[in-house]
Amino acid sequence: MPADLPKRILIGRALRSDKLGETLLPKRIALPVFASDALSSVAYAPEEILLTLSLAGASAIHFSWQIGVVVAIVMLAVVASYRQNVHAYPSGGGDYEVATVNHGPNSGLVVASALMVDYILTVAVSTTSGVANVVSAVPALRGHEMALSVFLVILLMGMNLRGVRESGSAFAVPTYAFMVGVIGMVVYGLVRHFGFGDSLPAESSAYHLAATPGNDSLAGFALVFLLLKAFSSGCAALTGVEAISNGVPAFRKPKSKNAATTLLMMASIAVTMFMGIIYLAHLTGTQMAENPAEQLIGAPENYHQKTVLAQISEAVFSNFTPGFYFIAATTGLILVLAANTAFNGFPVLGSILAQDRYLPRQLHTRGDRLAFSNGIVLLAGAAILFIVAFGADPNRLIQLYIVGVFVAFNMSQSGMIRHWTRLLRTETDPKKRAHMQRSRAINTFGLVMTMAVLIVVLATKIGHAWIAIALMVVLFVMMKAIHRHYDRVNAELKAAEEPDDAAPPTRVHAIVLVSKIHKPALRALAYARLARAQTLEAVTVNVDPADTAALRQDWEERGLDVPLKVLDSPYREVTGPVLEYVKNLRRSSPRDVVAVYIPEYVVGHWYEHLLHNQSALRLKGRLLFKPGVMVTSVPWQLESSERRKAPKAWSAPGAVRRGEPRRRPPVSADASGSAGSAGSAGSGDEGPGGADAAPRD
C-alpha cells in the first residue's frame, strides 16, 4: 500500500506541472468560483440594513429600499471600475499590483494586508451566515453553530486542496441553484401579489417594532447618522467584487475578456437579487430587531428571530412549502460556498506576495493538485480563529468585514487613475486616447463612490472596525520584517563577482561520534575515511565509566587505527562536551574546517520514535549554528524502515581497512549556516551517547 494513500484519497492523485492548463476555468465555472461571495452577500446585506434601521423602530424601516438603490449604484460603479483593472493588469496581482506599480511598495502592502483580512473574514462570515440560515430552517441545530461552522471551514479547505477546477465544478450547481431560487422567489412573490392579489405577510409583520431605549425620537443629525450606518452595513453586498481581478490567471484565454465578462454577469445577477430581496422585505413587512425580546412588541417570550431571507421565503411560499426549504438549503449552501471565493483569492495573493519576498516562500509553492496548498491551509486556520473568538456570530463578524475591502477599493481606483494619466502623456493615437480617457473617468467615478463609502464606514463603525485596522497594521509590519529578512539573507549569500581566495580552509579535521562499536558506527568510520580528511578521530563522551572502558577495550581488540578521543562529562551531559570540543578545535585553528559525522539509525514506525531519544537530532541542531562546522548524518536503516526493505546499496559489516575496496554509502549532509533543516526526519539516537548505551542529557 502506498505510504501516501490517505492523502491521495482525500485530495486525489498528484498532477504534473504541465497539466496546469487543464485546471483553467471557463466562464460558466469561473462565475461560481470567484463570484459566489458577491452573489451570496445578498442573503445577509439586506438583513444588516434592516437590523440597523430597527434602532429607530418601525418609522425608519421604509428607508430600506432607498438605501438599497444607493448600494446597487455603488456596486455597479465598482464593477465598472474593476473591468478596467482586469484589462490593464491581467497577471492576477489585482489591487495589490495596481497599488504597487502606481503608488509604490508600501501602498501595495497596505492593499495586501487589507485584502488578506477581508479574505479571512469572508470565510468566517460566509460559513457562520450559512449556518445561521440553516438553523433558521432547522431549529434543532441551535446551539451547535460554532462546531458546524468550524467543520464547514475544514470541509472547504479539503475540497480546495483538490484543485481550483475540481472545487469549482462541485460548487457550480449550488451557486446556480441559489440564483434560480432567489430570482424565482422574487418573480413568484410579485406574481402572487400583483397578479392574484395575495397578501404575503412575513412572520414578524404581526409584531410592532419599537425603537431601542434612547433611540425612540431620532431626528436631524441622529437620523442621518443612522441612515449612513445602515448604508455602510448594506455595502457588505460589495465584498468579493475584487476577487475576480485577483483570479484572472485562472481563466481560460482570452483571460482579461473572460474575467471582465464574468464581472458584468456577476454584477447584473447580484443587483437583481439584492433589489428583489429588499423589495420583497418591504412588501411582506419583514422586520428585524437588534434585541427581539425588547423591540418586537407582541412576540412570544421564547421567540427566535429568523433571517430576512427565511422570513421572506416563508411568506412567499406559504402555499408551497418545498419552495421554502429549497431557499433555505440553497442559501445555506451558497453562503458556505461563498468562502470558496476567498479560498481562491487568498492563496493566489499569498503566492504573489511570497514571490515578492513579503511572505514565507512556502506560500509560492503549488501542491500536488497544482493549488497553493499552504495558502489554503493558512486561510482556513485564520478563519477558524475568528469564528471561535466571535462565537460564530455572523452579525458581530460582519461589523469587521467591510473596512479592508474598501481600503483596497480606494487604493486600486486611485492607482488606476494614475495608470491612465501616465499612459495619456505618451499616447498619440486618438482612438486609444479616447479609450484611456473613458477608462480614467470610470475609475474616477468609482474612486469618488468608494471613498465616500469608506468615510461613512469609518465614521459609523469605528467601534468595531478598529480590530480589522489593527490586524492590517500587524500584517503590514510583519510583511516588512519578512522582506528585510530575505534581503539580508540574499545580501549575505550573494556570490562575489570574483572568487574570494584570500583565506581558504587549510585543512579538514574529521570527527566521528561513537558510543559503542556496532554497524552504524562502523559505517560512519568507513564513510569518513572516504572523505580523505587531513585528520580523523573518533570521539565519545564519558557518561558511564563502565561503558567507556568497554568501548576502549573493544576498540583495541579490533585494532582500529583511528584514534579514540574520550571527552569527560561530570554532569552526564552529551551535547555540551561535544560542542566545547569542537569550539576548541576551531579556536586553535580558525582556518580549519571541522567535519562531524553522526551515525544514526532510522526507524520505520512513528511509535518507535517514542522508544528512542533524539540526542543526534539535538546535537545536529546545535552544531549547525557553529561557523566552520560541517555536519554529516550517516544513516543506518532498521528492518522496520521502508528503506531497509529496499535492495542494499552499501553496507559496512566491519571496519574498512587499508587496501580493502571502498564503496560509497547513502548519506545526508548538512552544512553549518545552510538554509536546510537542522534535523533529519525519522532519525534515531546514535549520537555520541549511543543507542541505549548510556543515560542521555
Confidence grade of residue 216 (pLDDT, cut at 50, 70, 90): low
Confidence grade of residue 223 (pLDDT, cut at 50, 70, 90): confident
CA 452 remoteness from chain centre:
30
In angstroms, the CA 109 to CA 695 distance is: 52
Neighbours of 487 (CB within 10 A): 11
Residue 57 grid coordinates: 423602530
Place of cell 570527527: 511
H or E element: which one contains 324?
A: helix 321-337
Asked whether the predicted pLDDT for residue 682 surpasses 50, the reply is no
Q: Mean pLDDT, to the nearest integer, of 551-558?
A: 91
According to CATH, the topology of domain 23-416+450-487 is Amino acid/polyamine transporter I (1.20.1740)
Output the pLDDT for position 656: 42
Give yes or no for a contact between 232 and 6, defined as CB atoms under 8 angstroms apart: no
Confidence grade of residue 625 (pLDDT, cut at 50, 70, 90): confident
Long-range contacts from 60-65, C-beta under 8 angstroms, 24+ separation: 60/218, 60/223, 60/226, 60/227, 61/209, 61/282, 61/287, 62/282, 63/227, 63/230, 64/230, 64/278, 64/281, 64/282, 65/275, 65/278, 65/279, 65/282
Strand partners, 512: 538, 597
Residues 6+ away with beta carbon under 8 Å from 35: 240, 243, 244, 262, 265, 266, 270, 341
Output the pLDDT for position 454: 86
Long-range contacts from 315-318, C-beta under 8 angstroms, 24+ separation: 315/189, 315/200, 315/201, 315/202, 315/203, 315/284, 315/286, 316/185, 316/188, 316/189, 316/192, 316/200, 316/280, 316/284, 317/185, 317/188, 318/200
Give yes or no for a contact between 282 and 65, defined as CB atoms under 8 angstroms apart: yes
- Give whichever of 98-112, 223-237, 621-635 has the largest mean pLDDT: 98-112
Q: Mean pLDDT, to the nearest integer, of 611-630?
A: 80
In angstroms, the CA 37 to CA 41 distance is: 6
pLDDT tens digit string along 652-680? 444 444 444 444 444 444 444 333 333 33
**DSSP one-letter code for 317:** T
H or E element: which one contains 541?
A: strand 535-542
Domain boundaries in the chain?
A: 23-416+450-487, 508-671
Asked whether the predicted pLDDT for residue 18 surpasses 80, the reply is no
pLDDT above 90 coverage of the chain, percent: 27
Residue 338 grid coordinates: 461563498
Q: What are phi and psi of 639, to 5 degrees?
A: -60, -30
Asked whether the predicted pLDDT for residue 587 surpasses 60, the reply is yes
Neighbours of 303 (CB within 10 A): 15
Q: Mean pLDDT, to the nearest integer, of 449-476?
A: 85
H or E element: which one contains 637?
A: strand 629-637
Q: Identify the sign of the CA torsion 369, 374, 376, 380.
A: positive
- The better pLDDT of the pair 616, 205 is held by 205
Q: Identify the sign of the CA torsion 245, 370, 253, 266.
A: negative
In angstroms, the CA 618 to CA 574 distance is: 10
Asked whether the predicted pLDDT for residue 645 surpasses 80, the reply is no
Give yes or no for a contact between 307 and 47, defined as CB atoms under 8 angstroms apart: yes
In angstroms, the CA 676 to CA 669 distance is: 10
**DSSP one-letter code for 138:** -
Give yes or no for a contact between 114 and 353, defined as CB atoms under 8 angstroms apart: no
- The better pLDDT of the pair 684, 271 is held by 271
If DSSP codes are grouped into helix, strand and coil, which group holds residue 269?
Answer: helix
In angstroms, the CA 142 to CA 399 distance is: 22
pLDDT tens digit string along 382-403? 999 999 998 888 878 877 777 8
In angstroms, the CA 508 to CA 85 distance is: 59
Find the range with the poorest average confidence among 10-19, 129-138, 465-474, 535-544: 10-19
- The better pLDDT of the pair 570, 276 is held by 276
- Give whichever of 280-289, 330-339, 397-406 has the largest mean pLDDT: 280-289
Give yes or no for a contact between 696 and 689, defined as CB atoms under 8 angstroms apart: yes
The two counts, helices (H) then strands (E), for the chain are 23, 8
Among 350, 634, 662, 289, residue whose Cα is nearest residue 475? 350
pLDDT above 70 coverage of the chain, percent: 82
In angstroms, the CA 632 to CA 596 distance is: 6
Output the pLDDT for position 218: 56
H or E element: which one contains 512?
A: strand 508-513
pTM: 0.68
Burial 115-147 (b: 16+ CB within 10 A, else e): bbbbbbbbbbbbbbbbbbbbbbbeeeeeeebbe
H or E element: which one contains 187?
A: helix 164-190
What is the Rg, in whole angstroms, of the alpha carbon atoms belonging to the chain?
Answer: 33
H or E element: which one contains 443?
A: helix 430-493
Find the range with the poorest average confidence among 42-56, 263-277, 515-529: 42-56
In angstroms, the CA 652 to CA 660 distance is: 12
CA 639 remoteness from chain centre:
40
Average pLDDT, the chain: 80
pLDDT tens digit string along 412-444? 899 999 999 999 999 889 999 999 999 999 999
**DSSP one-letter code for 666:** P
Place of cell 429549497: 326
pLDDT tens digit string along 46-97? 888 988 888 777 777 888 889 999 999 999 988 988 888 888 888 766 788 8
